[in-house]
């Protein structure tokens, strides 16, 4: 099986076809919560990328030892473990960022996307493809967060990654919660429009949780 | 003391509303507000589970985790406690009040891995709240979340008939709508300093 | 029965493995975290009194708004050069956390805003240098918020009165505390000069 | 998971299903819109009299941006362009009435864009918007440009007043410095009331002149375009609650007349809370809507961070309007059940 795995497809799928934020609309909370700045969005994305890769890897390794009857509790436990590790590392090394978004880092544990990839992909595939799948999904997540972060930070603070660009703050509302929701809605609508116009897609987000 | 409890309650329900200013529980918020009935059922279940979960976790955090210096395990332990409690509630409800179980049972399954259920004990632990303060936060957040769900469900019913531009149908317009509601809720800001 | 045992065993093994991973991470990150926290605090205090050569140590505690704050003595070659206190003021939507340092004659040397959650664009203007610099050199009776032009007192930021007041009150509380703790010594010193 | 959440195949529906009030044809809508705009004319003229050229510019830019946004978005969505129905004109005018005269001109432009494109057309266009577009436009610019939107100039009555003096609105003065300070400026209560009534005070364009607004409102009521069900409970609630809780000397010492005449209350109560689309359509629900607006206004004015609460109060009640309609409609059926549950 390992020979027939197409890594390109997995990566493309994670970033475009099943982008966790814009296409699957899973785990939306942090997408709005931490994207008032590019840096926060990026670090959150890195945290998710790490957790997803490790969780998928662990689940794949243990897939023959986990009894199907207790599979969900086991997955939850594995996820919680890797989230705790991420949380500890972030708290020790990224102090300023952690002050802003520590809660959301801890809440990665409740992300539907992590559990669903463990269940749908890692429990049926070998170690390497599983880790690549986790990383690809995490990368899709990271890119979505960075995209939103660029949009919001540029409009809201006139800066990118904390470096001032405009020298003023054009639309303060964009860094507030309401602005986050607007940004998310407008961005999704715009991507749907692009999809319909240029890629012949249905242009409708599926929604779910 | 009483004043602080009341302050936490009001602040968590309106000003720091989980949905409109803390961005938590969005999946559920968008998922269950397509129908009013579901939204109401979810509201009840969530508030109850949040309250009991917060109280249980507070006791465990204060009397087990802090004395044993196990604070760093809080994510694992909180999620375990909530899962165990929900499982127990599920079993008990099925036996004792089957009617209620058929109404609310389906929501219980969704709850275990939900961020707002977990966020309450995490915030409580972070702020070092006492038992009553923790419970005030839980009830306030629960009612605030219920309010958000019910408003959203009633508006989305009205929106069903609207000719929304194709690209914006479904989630995008719901996001914009949530943004507008959050904008209105900014009117409450500045009422309470936490 | 055998299956039960197997399930339990696999769960227990996962728990042990996970516990190990978390424990090891905690072992290596918690000292890092502790050190970083300590360093941040030291650096913030150092900024408040750059001429202090000895480590700045906590001299006592005081409370306001039901929160605990500390005050510190900054010394150079065992002689006090400044007194510092942490403090907070009740702002528009948050408590504004601050550090205040005074010279040995109890005039304000510097004010530093550590954290707040005030409204972007309005309340967060209290962080601006033009507002903070007004405090420098003022002594306790002058720390008063005025709406409109003033040189002797503190001029409120228009449109951000509540946040301005929060900072002013927080600073005032801190200076008041420092005067109570160290005032007697300064007074005797001043009397000594007069003689 | 791949099923679209709202499947709507018809792009140009032949049969339009809409929630009441059912406007029968384009002509009636247009007639209502233009009449309401006309009713705002006295207040607009008064604002120009008091604030001069800057007020004219704010109104013009706001109108132009509204009309341009409407035309552009309708063209992009391939819908018929309906500038002549007056709805974009009215939104632009209402937005202008909610802005300070000294606002830089990009503020009315941004506000109009948000009002027309995001609040109205994203939700399906005229008749489907959940929130009052002008008020969302106002709230959006208030949050985005907080400093500029809270700086007001004193009325100058000169047409080309350039160096108008910035000053606080009466509500800000009351909130931050108390009634004594207000009396120091206006000398007597009678003079204060008189200035409020005529509009000789700092504030947004259309917030100022109570008499001009009342004239317009009376005209609309005579024409039966608006009814008492929302505005009267709204204003009465503000008066009552302000009297009860608004005073420094304890209960029942507040100045009801001051609160009823200041801020955007008259404008909001008669011209914005009465909006057919964003308010409830059941009569009983309208009264509750009005009372709710009033209560929230007083809550925000007395306890909130903002000195004026009318805008947020109406927006918040806009959220509740569908719920109110729903609850009040089924009241007859719900009563017995509700009682049973309680016991």
> pLDDT tens for residues A42-89?
999 999 999 999 999 999 998 888 878 778 888 888 999 999 999 999
pLDDT value, residue D27: 57
Rounded to whole angstroms, how far apart are CA atoms C175 and C168? 11
Distance to chain A for B19, nearest Cα, Å: 9
Banded pLDDT at B194 (limits 50, 70, 90)? low
Rounded to whole angstroms, how far apart are CA atoms D31 and D34? 5
C172, burial (CB in 10 Å: exposed 0-12, middle 13-18, buried 19+): buried
Q: Is residue D334 part of a domain?
A: no
What's the mean per-residue pLDDT of chain D? 83
Average pLDDT over residues A4-21: 78
Dihedral over Cα of D193, D197, D200, D203: its sign: positive
pLDDT one-digit tens code per residue, A145-163:
999 999 999 998 888 888 8
Q: Is residue D291 part of a domain?
A: yes
Chains touching A, CB cut-off 8 Å, 3+ pairs: B, C, D
Q: Which residues pair with C100 in a beta bridge?
A: C85, C111
Which of B15, B72, B185 should be substituted to probe chain C, the one whose Cβ sees the most C Cβ atoms within 10 Å? Answer: B72
Rounded to whole angstroms, how far apart are CA atoms B114 and B24? 9
Rounded to whole angstroms, how far apart are CA atoms D65 and D95? 11
Chains touching B, CB cut-off 8 Å, 3+ pairs: A, C, D
In the predicted structure, residue D22 carries a pLDDT above the cut 60: no
- Quick one: angle between helices B131-159 and B115-127, nearest 10? 150
Strand A163-164 to C57-64 pairing: unpaired
* Cα D195 from chain centroid (whole Å): 22
Picking from A98-112, C68-82, D159-173, which range would have the lowest pLDDT averaged per residue?
A: D159-173
Query: Dihedrals φ, ψ of A190, to 5°?
Result: -65, -45
Average pLDDT over residues D301-330: 88
Q: What residues of chain C, 59 to 98, have a C-beta less than 8 Å from chain A? A: none
Chains touching D, CB cut-off 8 Å, 3+ pairs: A, B, C
Specify the long-range contacts of residues D3-6, CB closer than 8 Å, at least 24 apart: D3/A206, D4/A202, D4/A204, D4/A205, D4/A206, D4/B169, D4/B170, D5/A204, D5/A205, D5/A206, D5/A207, D5/B34, D5/B169, D5/B170, D5/B171, D6/B160, D6/B164, D6/B169, D6/B170
In the predicted structure, residue A96 carries a pLDDT above the cut 90: no
Q: Is residue D106 part of a domain?
A: yes
Picking from B47-51, C189-193, D185-189, which range would have the lowest pLDDT averaged per residue?
A: C189-193
Structure tokens at A19: 């982008």
Using an 8 Å CB-CB cutoff, list chain C residues near D147.
121-122, 159
In this prediction the pTM is 0.89
Q: Does the beta-carbon distance from C26 to A88 stay under 8 Å?
A: yes
Rounded to whole angstroms, how far apart are CA atoms D317 and D81? 30
Average pLDDT over residues C162-182: 88
Average pLDDT over residues C109-126: 83
pLDDT one-digit tens code per residue, D37-53:
999 999 999 888 888 88
Using an 8 Å CB-CB cutoff, list chain C residues near B15.
93
pLDDT one-digit tens code per residue, D227-279:
999 999 999 999 999 998 887 776 777 888 889 988 889 999 999 999 888 99
- Quick one: angle between helices D87-97 and D26-39, nearest 10? 20
**Could you list the residue range(s) of the whole structural domain that residue D132 is in?**
30-327
Query: Dihedrals φ, ψ of B142, to 5°?
Result: -65, -45
Q: Does the beta-carbon distance from B190 to C92 stay under 8 Å?
A: yes
Banded pLDDT at D14 (limits 50, 70, 90)? very low
Rounded to whole angstroms, how far apart are CA atoms D77 and A195? 17
Q: What percent of chain C has pLDDT over 70?
A: 93
Rounded to whole angstroms, how far apart are CA atoms D250 and D79? 57
Strand order in the sheet with C67-76: C57-64, C67-76, C79-90, C95-103, C108-115
Q: Does A81 touch chain B (CB under 8 A)?
A: yes
Which chain A residue has the Cα nearest residue D146? A172
Q: Does the beta-carbon distance from A69 to C7 stay under 8 Å?
A: yes
Banded pLDDT at D341 (limits 50, 70, 90)? very low
Dihedral over Cα of D171, D177, D183, D186: its sign: negative
Q: Is residue D107 part of a domain?
A: yes
Average pLDDT over residues C67-81: 85
Strand C154-155 to C79-90 pairing: unpaired
pLDDT value, residue B60: 93
Distance to chain A for D110, nearest Cα, Å: 10
Rounded to whole angstroms, how far apart are CA atoms A135 and A141? 10
Tracing tokens 């406007």 back to the chain, one arrives at D23
Chains touching C, CB cut-off 8 Å, 3+ pairs: A, B, D
Cα distances (Å, whole numbers) of residue A58 to A79, A82, A138, D132, D142: 9, 10, 16, 52, 50
In the predicted structure, residue B51 carries a pLDDT above the cut 90: yes
**Could you list the residue range(s) of the whole structural domain that residue A16 is in?**
7-197
Is C183 in contact with C106 (CB distance < 8 Å)?
yes
Rounded to whole angstroms, how far apart are CA atoms D335 and D333? 6
Q: Does A146 touch chain B (CB under 8 A)?
A: no
Facing residue for A85 by CB, picked from C3, C21, C30: C21
Q: Which residue from C65, D251, D235, C140 is spatially nearest to B7, judged by alpha carbons?
A: C65
Cβ neighbors of D268 (< 8 A, separation 6 or more) are: D234, D293, D310, D311, D313, D314
Cis before D21 (ω within 30): yes
Q: Does the beta-carbon distance from D5 to A173 stay under 8 Å?
A: no
pLDDT value, residue D7: 38
Using an 8 Å CB-CB cutoff, list chain D residues near A173.
140, 143-144
Q: Does the beta-carbon distance from D322 to B164 stay under 8 Å?
A: no
Structure tokens at A100: 């802003």
Structure tokens at C104: 């040995």
DSSP C103: E
Q: Is residue A152 part of a domain?
A: yes
Rounded to whole angstroms, how far apart are CA atoms C67 and C89? 11
Facing residue for A77 by CB, picked from C15, C26, C30: C15
- Count up the domains in chain D and report the number: 1
In the predicted structure, residue D12 carries a pLDDT above the cut 60: no
Q: Does the beta-carbon distance from B190 to D305 stay under 8 Å?
A: yes
- Count up the domains in chain A and report the number: 1
In the predicted structure, residue D308 carries a pLDDT above the cut 60: yes
pLDDT value, residue D5: 40
- Decide which of C96 and B106 is more confident: C96
Q: Which residue from A105, A108, A81, A80 is spatially nearest to A92, judged by alpha carbons?
A: A105
Cα distances (Å, whole numbers) of residue B153 to A109, A183, B20, D39, D179: 27, 22, 15, 36, 43
Banded pLDDT at D292 (limits 50, 70, 90)? very high
DSSP B64: I
Q: Is residue D7 part of a domain?
A: no
Q: Does B151 touch chain D (CB under 8 A)?
A: yes
Distance to chain C for A193, nearest Cα, Å: 33
Q: Is residue A204 part of a domain?
A: no
């Amino acid at each position: 099986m390992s020979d027939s795995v197409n890594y390109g497809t997995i990566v493309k799928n994670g970033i475009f076809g099943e982008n966790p934020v814009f296409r699957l609309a899973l785990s939306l909370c942090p997408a709005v919560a931490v994207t008032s700045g590019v840096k926060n969005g990026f670090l959150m994305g890195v945290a998710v990328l790490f957790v997803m890769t490790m969780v998928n890897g662990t689940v794949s390794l243990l897939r023959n030892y986990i009894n199907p009857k207790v599979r969900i509790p086991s997955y939850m436990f594995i996820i919680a473990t890797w989230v705790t590790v991420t949380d500890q590392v972030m708290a020790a090394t990224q102090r300023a960022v952690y002050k802003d978004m520590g809660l959301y880092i801890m809440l990665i544990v409740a992300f539907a996307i992590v559990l669903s990839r463990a269940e749908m992909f890692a429990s049926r595939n070998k170690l390497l493809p599983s880790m690549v799948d986790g990383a690809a999904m995490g990368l899709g997540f990271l890119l979505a967060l960075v995209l939103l972060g660029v949009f919001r930070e540029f409009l809201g603070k006139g800066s990118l990654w904390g470096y001032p660009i405009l020298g003023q703050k054009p639309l303060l509302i964009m860094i507030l919660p309401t602005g986050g929701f607007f940004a998310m809605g407008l961005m999704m609508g715009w991507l749907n429009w692009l999809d319909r116009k240029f890629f012949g897609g249905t242009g409708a987000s599926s929604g779910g949780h | 003391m009483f004043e602080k409890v009341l302050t936490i309650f009001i602040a968590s329900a309106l000003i720091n509303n989980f949905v409109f200013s803390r961005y938590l529980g969005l999946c559920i918020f968008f998922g269950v507000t397509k129908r009013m009935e579901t939204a109401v059922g979810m509201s009840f279940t969530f508030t109850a589970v949040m309250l009991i979960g917060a109280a249980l976790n507070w006791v465990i955090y204060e009397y087990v985790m802090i004395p044993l210096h196990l604070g760093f395990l809080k994510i694992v332990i909180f999620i375990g406690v909530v899962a165990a409690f929900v499982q127990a509630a599920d079993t008990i409800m099925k036996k004792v009040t089957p009617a209620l179980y058929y109404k609310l049972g389906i929501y219980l399954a969704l709850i275990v891995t939900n961020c707002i259920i977990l966020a309450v004990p995490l915030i409580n632990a972070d702020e070092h709240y006492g038992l009553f303060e923790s419970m005030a936060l839980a009830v306030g957040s629960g009612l605030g979340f219920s309010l958000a769900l019910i408003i959203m469900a009633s508006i989305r019913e009205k929106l069903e008939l609207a000719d929304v531009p194709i690209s914006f149908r479904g989630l995008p317009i719901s996001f914009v709508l949530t943004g507008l509601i959050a904008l209105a809720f900014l009117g409450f800001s500045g009422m309470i300093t936490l | 029965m055998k299956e039960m045992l197997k399930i339990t065993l696999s769960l227990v093994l996962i728990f042990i493995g996970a516990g190990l991973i978390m424990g090891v991470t905690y072992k290596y990150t918690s000292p890092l975290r502790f050190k970083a926290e300590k360093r941040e605090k030291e650096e913030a205090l150092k900024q408040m009194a750059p001429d202090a050569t000895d480590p700045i140590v906590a001299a006592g505690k005081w409370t306001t708004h039901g929160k605990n704050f500390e005050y510190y003595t900054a010394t150079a070659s065992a002689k006090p050069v400044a007194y510092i206190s942490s403090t907070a003021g009740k702002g528009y939507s948050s408590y504004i956390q601050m550090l205040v340092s005074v010279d040995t004659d109890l005039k304000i040397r510097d004010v530093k805003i550590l954290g707040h959650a005030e409204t972007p664009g309005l309340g967060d203007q209290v962080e601006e240098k033009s507002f903070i610099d007004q405090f420098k050199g003022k002594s306790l009776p002058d720390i008063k918020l005025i709406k409109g032009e003033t040189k002797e007192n503190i001029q409120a930021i228009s449109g951000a009165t509540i946040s301005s007041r929060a900072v002013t009150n927080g600073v005032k509380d801190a200076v008041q505390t420092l005067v109570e703790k160290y005032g007697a010594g300064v007074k005797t010193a001043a009397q000594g000069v007069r003689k | 998971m791949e099923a679209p959440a709202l499947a709507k195949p018809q792009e140009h529906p032949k049969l339009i299903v809409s929630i009441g009030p059912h406007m029968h044809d384009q002509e009636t809508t247009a007639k209502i819109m233009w009449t309401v705009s006309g009713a705002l004319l006295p207040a607009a003229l008064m604002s120009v009299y008091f604030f001069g050229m800057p007020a004219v510019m704010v109104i013009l830019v706001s109108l132009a941006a509204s009309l341009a946004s409407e035309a552009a978005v309708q063209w992009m969505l391939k819908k018929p362009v309906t500038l002549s129905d007056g709805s974009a004109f009215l939104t632009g005018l209402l937005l202008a009435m909610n802005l300070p005269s000294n606002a830089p001109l990009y503020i009315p432009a941004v506000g109009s864009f948000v009002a027309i494109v995001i609040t109205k057309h994203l939700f399906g266009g005229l008749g489907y918007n959940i929130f009052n577009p002008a008020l969302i436009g106002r709230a959006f610019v208030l949050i985005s440009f907080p400093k500029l939107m809270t700086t007001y100039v004193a009325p100058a009555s000169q047409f080309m007043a350039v160096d108008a003096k910035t000053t606080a609105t009466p509500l800000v003065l009351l909130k931050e410095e108390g009634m004594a300070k207000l009396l120091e400026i206006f000398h007597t209560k009678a003079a204060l009331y008189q200035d409020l009534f005529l509009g000789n005070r700092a504030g947004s364009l259309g917030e100022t002149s109570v008499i001009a607004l009342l004239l317009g409102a009376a005209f609309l009521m005579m024409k039966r375009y608006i009814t008492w069900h929302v505005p009267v409970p709204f204003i009465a609630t503000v008066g009552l609650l302000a009297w009860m809780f608004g005073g420094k000397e304890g209960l029942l010492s507040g100045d009801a007349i001051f609160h009823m005449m200041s801020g955007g209350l008259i404008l909001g109560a008669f011209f914005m809370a009465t909006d057919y689309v964003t308010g409830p359509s059941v009569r009983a629900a309208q009264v509750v809507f009005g009372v709710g607006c009033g209560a929230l206004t007083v809550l925000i004015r007395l306890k909130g961070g903002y000195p004026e609460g009318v805008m947020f109060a109406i927006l918040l009640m806009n959220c509740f309007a569908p719920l109110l309609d729903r609850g009040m409609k089924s009241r007859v059926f719900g009563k017995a059940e509700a009682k049973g549950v309680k016991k």
